Structure 1
Amino acid sequence: MSIARKFVISVSAIAGCLLAAPVAGATPTAGVEVTTLAETTVAGTHYVLRELTLQPGATTGWHYHDGPLYAVVRNGVLSHYDSSCAVDGSHGPGHTIVEPSGPGYVHIGRNQGSHPVVLDVLYMLPVGAPPSQDVPNPGCPFQ
């Protein structure tokens, strides 16, 4: 194999690892099941409807969204914290949740109960944006 070909393969492998690597210090989602129910794009906005199930003890990890998010709690109680570590909501069945977009609204959702939390979530995102952007814990004593 030529030196040039080995170089290209090596660079490709390194790039692949870097692109697949998580954000340094990001807090991963744990115990969350996601089912996409529907999605469409209209006038530059990508709409994604998902069902999220957070098992007892589950966390969404610290994150923000590139577009607004609207959710309805179907089951359980979701504890919602902002980047100051304060509870900014405790949402039970029938409650709606509205999350603004952008890195200025870093937050985490946690199931601290003994029953699964089930949410219907509508994401309104710029085309090509992921549903959430993982970020490091802002200094809170929990994940």
Structure 2
Amino acid sequence: MTDLRAVAAAVSVAAVAALGAAAPAAATPSRGVDARILSQATVNGHDYITKEITIAPGGSTGWHWHPGRVYGVIRSGTLTHDFADCSVDGVYSAGAPITEDSGPDHVHEGRNLGSEPVVMWVLYIDDAGAPPAVDAPNPGCPFE
């Protein structure tokens, strides 16, 4: 199985080189993020996942988008939320609700620019089996 993977990878690299195509940009990883599942259930073809997400000072979620609906509340700290056009679309302090639009045209990133951890409770509602988030490359913003 490992040999087949190596051959497939070599063929893919050769095909990209032969076509002169550039490889897609890599996703930006999260930094200083810890997430734990508080609850999870599948009902009528939808996954309901509640997570507690903590972002350390200086940390970020990395650029991503959501295939489903997202609802959250900031429990502590202050979250800075950025759109793919590099604008800050919101600064959310403890007690503030937050929602995020769905789909690949809504790439965003959450950052902790403060001195204390950001703690959020987040509910993801997705089609059963869909990921809660999809990684995306930095759209060209000077921060990650």
Q: What range is the shorter-chain TM-score in? A: 0.7 to 0.9
Distance of 1:120 and 1:14 partners within structure 2? 44
Percent identity, please.
49
- When residues 42 and 92 of structure 1 are mapped into structure 2, their CA distance, relative to the original with a 3 A threshold, is same
Query: Would you identify which runs of 4 or more consecutive aligned residues in structure 1 move more than 4 Å?
Result: 12-16
Whole-angstrom CA distance in 1 between matches of 2:138 and 2:80: 16
> What's the counterpart of residue 139 of structure 1?
140
The structural deviation recorded for 1:74 is: 0.4
| Paired AA for residue 88 in structure 1 | D
Deviation of the 1:100 alpha carbon = 1.3
Alignment gaps of 5+ in structure 1: 1-7
Match for residue 79 of structure 1? 80
Partners of 2:122 and 2:2 in 1: CA distance: 41
Kindly provide the amino acid, as one letter, of the partner of residue 81 in structure 2.
Answer: H
Query: Please, what is the CA RMSD of the aligned residues?
Result: 1.8
Q: State the 1:71 CA deviation.
A: 0.5
Structure 2 counterpart of 1:118, one-letter code: V
Please tell me the residue identity of whatever aligns with 1:100: D
What is the deviation of 1:42?
0.9
* Matching residue of 1:97: 98
Letter in 1 for 2:4: V
1:1-59 CA deviation, whole Å, 9 max, x = no partner? xxxxxxx441156679x9xxxx8411001100001000001111101000000000010
Aligned residue for 1:33? 34
- Name the structure 1 match of 2:108: 107
Q: 1:87 to 1:34 in 2, by over 3 A?
A: same
Q: Structure 1 pair 74/43, CA: closer, same or farther in 2 (3 Å)? A: same
Q: How many residues align?
A: 131
Shift of 1:129: 1.4
Q: Give the corresponding residue for 1:10.
A: 3
Cα distance change on mapping 1:91 and 1:15 into 2, 3 Å: farther
